[in-house]
Amino acid sequence: MAYAYDDQNVFAKILRGEISCDKVLETEHSLAFNDIAPQAPTHVLVIPKGPYVNYDHFAAEASEAEIVDFSRAVRQVIAKLGLEPGQGGMGYRLIANSGEAGVQEVPHMHMHILSGRRLGRMLPKAE
């Protein structure tokens, strides 16, 4: 299935510099910034710079260089914030909401990095 990318989404605007962000880290193919409405003491979003709608689109169509860069960028944020479990950090949770079931709001692939407190059970009860 081909994904249609909407280049008017808020993360596309951040990437074009039309909207500012609180940048945490930038690599060749990825950008990390603090979530504007944090749901934990640490709440960082990592996005690929390429036009991918969701995780499925990214994993299927991004180049190997983009995928490696993205995975390492997530890890670099975790290291920068001192969150590595077993290395003195308190650990974290990664979430990539994709599509309707995932209740994805921004249609540009992103990974949430959440930490700073015990995050509780993985999922709340169904709505």
State the residues that interact with ligand AMP by CB under 6 A.
10, 19, 21, 33, 35-37, 45, 97, 103-106
Token pair recorded at residue 20: 């500012």
Smallest separation (angstroms) from ligand AMP to the CB of 23: 10
- Report the alpha-carbon distance of residue 12 to residue 90 in Å, rounded: 32
Smallest separation (angstroms) from ligand AMP to the CB of 34: 7
Beta strand 23-26 with 42-48: parallel, antiparallel or unpaired?
unpaired
Cβ proximity to ligand AMP, 41 vs 88, nearer residue: 41
Cβ proximity to ligand AMP, 5 vs 84, nearer residue: 5
Sheet hosting strand 42-48, strand order edge to edge: 23-26, 30-34, 42-48, 111-115, 93-95
H or E element, residue 41: none
Cβ proximity to ligand AMP, 22 vs 80, nearer residue: 22
Active site residues: 110
Smallest separation (angstroms) from ligand AMP to the CB of 67: 19
Whose CA is closest to 49, among 40, 58, 41, 38? Answer: 58
